[in-house]
Chain A
């Protein structure tokens, strides 16, 4: 549904040297998929999203959405989009903001009021509806941003840029539930976030971007491409035997906790089998970092 082929973007300011923000990005996002983008600040995520919306043109390569250029697609169907920052004039009220965007989203006049009311109810911002945006907390402002994405319920492309930024744990979970509800139905969802745990929970795949390039794509359905290098082991009995088997193990933070390195599950199993055969009792084995965090730290070198 969304195809990026060799996409690059170089900013050429009038004064100063050109800045290469995105280099040779190739990626396909199919209908029904939830794709994540992770990367440090300045990695090129926002530039990539601006190009997907047709707000910026790539200087190399091409982007198509459903066979059209991004701009043509957006003008034909619209995209449910939550930017990283709420950039409406802060003098607008919540109600006005959503009414305006409902018009621009193409909701027919007869259904507009109901759609706005439903979005306000879904995000529970009814008590703030008459308030100006400048009176809202960061979290409530983010909920308004999420509400406006619900004004395009049939959108075939949804893009969330740092969606849980400023949300409390309750609303973070509500957002995750929302994505679970919205996924499928032939819709492609893209989530850019610094929250690796969130991406791991929600996405089918995550592209790790650094210095404008895709460094790795982690697929969660099969864990293909996933790299877990460090594991947390809790040893209840036989610490000496364990140390003899795993001399490179480092003490962890808790009692009896050790961190060991193993490049994959097979190597880990062999290591543990040897320890168990030597009489070591182990109560817990877990990745020292999540699959994505491991891949992220392995890919993003500073």
Chain B
């Protein structure tokens, strides 16, 4: 006898979970930051369309950066780790489903959700007169999700309280690869930082995409490859380690 749980039928439930648990924070941050940005841009630019056009790209990228970062980090943390810690894995994986497929589906739903949020954010800014590329924003969100979501997936599989390690990794990556760090830290430390998340590369990719420019190929490849390797490593950990810990 063989039965299979239908993950396709379960997708709407995963989407609902994402919308209720992960979307509120980036939505609130985006709305608040977007409102403040639009208000200040309007007060500076007044009724001068040329001034508004010159200021728009910078403000557009500031707001969208906030939305993208919050959406990616909120969606990437506490997924499998929470199921393990809460004990929900015992219910889920006593059913005839493959855990790797389940978490892959959940990751894809989260990625689609972050794209939707970024798209809505860009559309709202455009409606308020702050123009930026909608397609470029979706590309920026996708590349950010592939990197940050991929690393988040790996960290999720490694430890139960994944949020602290995940945020620490991001902060250390930022600091060790900053110009200030290279001036202060020993050379071997900044060299070692190359193995950390390619956040500078991600930043350049995003900025290029906001302006509808093509990002540098090596930046894009670095970001996508890093995320992909982390995600595959996460899948391997999931298959090798115990589901309940």
Identify A77's interface contact among B1, B98, B243, CB under 8 A. Answer: B1
Q: Which residues of A contact B91 (CB under 8 A)?
A: 81, 83, 87-88, 101, 148
Per the CB 8 Å criterion, the residue count for chain A at the interface is 33
Identify B243's interface contact among A55, A78, A81, CB under 8 A. Answer: A55
Find out whether the CB atom of B242 lies under 8 angstroms from the CB atom of A106.
no
B: contact size bracket: 20 to 34
Question: Quick check: is B24 within 8 A (CB to CB) of the other chain?
Answer: no
Question: Quick check: is B25 within 8 A (CB to CB) of the other chain?
Answer: no
Find out whether the CB atom of A77 lies under 8 angstroms from the CB atom of B88.
no
Kindly state the separation between the CA atoms of A91 and B13 in the bound complex, as whole angstroms. Answer: 13
Find out whether the CB atom of B1 lies under 8 angstroms from the CB atom of A50.
no
Tell me, rounded to whole Å, the shortest Cβ–Cβ distance linking A108 to chain B: 8
Identify B94's interface contact among A81, A85, A89, A106, CB under 8 A. Answer: A81
Find out whether the CB atom of A55 lies under 8 angstroms from the CB atom of B93.
yes
> With A87-B88, A89-B88, A103-B10 as given contacts, are A74 and B5 in contact (CB-CB < 8 Å)?
no
Find out whether the CB atom of B95 lies under 8 angstroms from the CB atom of A78.
yes
Find out whether the CB atom of A77 lies under 8 angstroms from the CB atom of B87.
no
Question: Quick check: is A277 within 8 A (CB to CB) of the other chain?
Answer: no
Q: Which residues of A contact B51 (CB under 8 A)?
A: none
Q: Which residues of A contact B9 (CB under 8 A)?
A: 103, 109
Interface 1/0 per residue, B71-102 and A, CB below 8 Å:
00000000000000011111111111110000
Find out whether the CB atom of B98 lies under 8 angstroms from the CB atom of A106.
no
Find out whether the CB atom of A156 lies under 8 angstroms from the CB atom of B94.
no
Find out whether the CB atom of A78 lies under 8 angstroms from the CB atom of B94.
yes
Q: Which residues of B contact A154 (CB under 8 A)?
A: 1, 3
Of residues 54 through 80 on chain A, the ones whose CB sits less than 8 Å from some CB of chain B are 54-57, 74-80
Kindly state the separation between the CA atoms of A86 and B97 in the bound complex, as whole angstroms. Answer: 20
Q: Which residues of B contact A88 (CB under 8 A)?
A: 88, 91
Find out whether the CB atom of A105 lies under 8 angstroms from the CB atom of B90.
no
Q: Residue among A54, A80, A156, A159 with the most chain B CB within 10 A?
A: A54
Find out whether the CB atom of B96 lies under 8 angstroms from the CB atom of A77.
yes
Q: Which 7 residue pairs across A and B have the least CB separation, nearest first? A: A87-B87, A78-B96, A106-B3, A81-B94, A55-B244, A104-B95, A104-B5
Question: Quick check: is A5 within 8 A (CB to CB) of the other chain?
Answer: no
Q: Which residues of B contact A91 (CB under 8 A)?
A: 20
Identify B96's interface contact among A57, A75, A89, A109, CB under 8 A. Answer: A75
Identify A156's interface contact among B1, B10, B20, B98, CB under 8 A. Answer: B1
Question: Quick check: is B218 within 8 A (CB to CB) of the other chain?
Answer: no
Q: Which residues of A contact B20 (CB under 8 A)?
A: 91
Find out whether the CB atom of B86 lies under 8 angstroms from the CB atom of A87.
yes
Tell me, rounded to whole Å, the shortest Cβ–Cβ distance linking B85 to chain A: 9
Of residues 77 through 135 on chain B, the ones whose CB sits less than 8 Å from some CB of chain A are 86-98
Find out whether the CB atom of A100 lies under 8 angstroms from the CB atom of B1.
no
> With A78-B95, A83-B90 as given contacts, are A106 and B1 in contact (CB-CB < 8 Å)?
no
Question: Quick check: is A53 within 8 A (CB to CB) of the other chain?
Answer: yes
